[in-house]
């Protein structure tokens, strides 16, 4: 079955760039029918969609983050990535990657999540 796994630093200094990678196993990322999403959850809070990317490279971003955000896809390694620049403490959160069905844009498979803390 398809599984997703986030990887990247758990601690990022303010003003630096947060970089995370999601590795997809058990299935190909290079297929239609799905978008590949990033979602975050601030401590004790709700869920925020960051953006998603299609296997063709077309990406959609949350306007609230768009000026600082790049989502990319590497089909040869079955991975997609997030880069969020100029981070502040407000970017401290659990970051999830998720498979997004293009029938209903529902997040049907999630990674386990990775906690990222922005602190000097």
Residues forming contacts to another protein in the complex (CB under 8 A) are 46-49, 60, 62-64, 96, 101, 103-108, 110-113
State the nearest-atom distance from the C-beta of 37 to another protein, in Å: 8
Nearest approach in angstroms of CB 118 to another protein is 21
Q: Which residue in 120, 119, 33, 19 sits closest to 79, CA to CA?
A: 19
Closer of 55 and 110 to another protein (Cβ) = 110
Q: Report the residue number, 14 or 57, with the smaller CB distance to another protein.
A: 57
For the chain, the first-to-last Cα distance in angstroms comes to: 39
Nearer to another protein, 55 or 60 (CB): 60
User: 70-79: string of b/e by CB count within 10 Å (b at 16+)?
Assistant: bbebeeeebb
- Give CA–CA dist 34/115, Å, rounded: 25
Q: How far is the CB of 110 from another protein (least distance, A)?
A: 5
């Amino acid at each position: 079955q398809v599984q997703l796994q986030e990887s990247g630093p758990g601690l990022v200094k303010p003003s630096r760039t947060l970089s995370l990678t999601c590795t997809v196993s058990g299935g190909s990322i290079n297929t239609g029918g799905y978008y590949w999403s990033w979602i975050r959850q601030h401590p004790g809070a709700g869920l925020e969609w960051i953006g998603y990317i299609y296997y063709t490279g077309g990406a959609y971003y949350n306007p609230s983050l768009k000026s600082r955000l790049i989502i990319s896809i590497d089909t040869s390694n079955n991975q997609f990535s997030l880069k969020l620049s100029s981070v502040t403490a407000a970017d401290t959160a659990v970051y999830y990657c998720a498979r997004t069905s293009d029938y209903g844009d529902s997040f049907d498979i999630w990674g386990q999540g990775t906690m990222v803390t922005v602190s000097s």
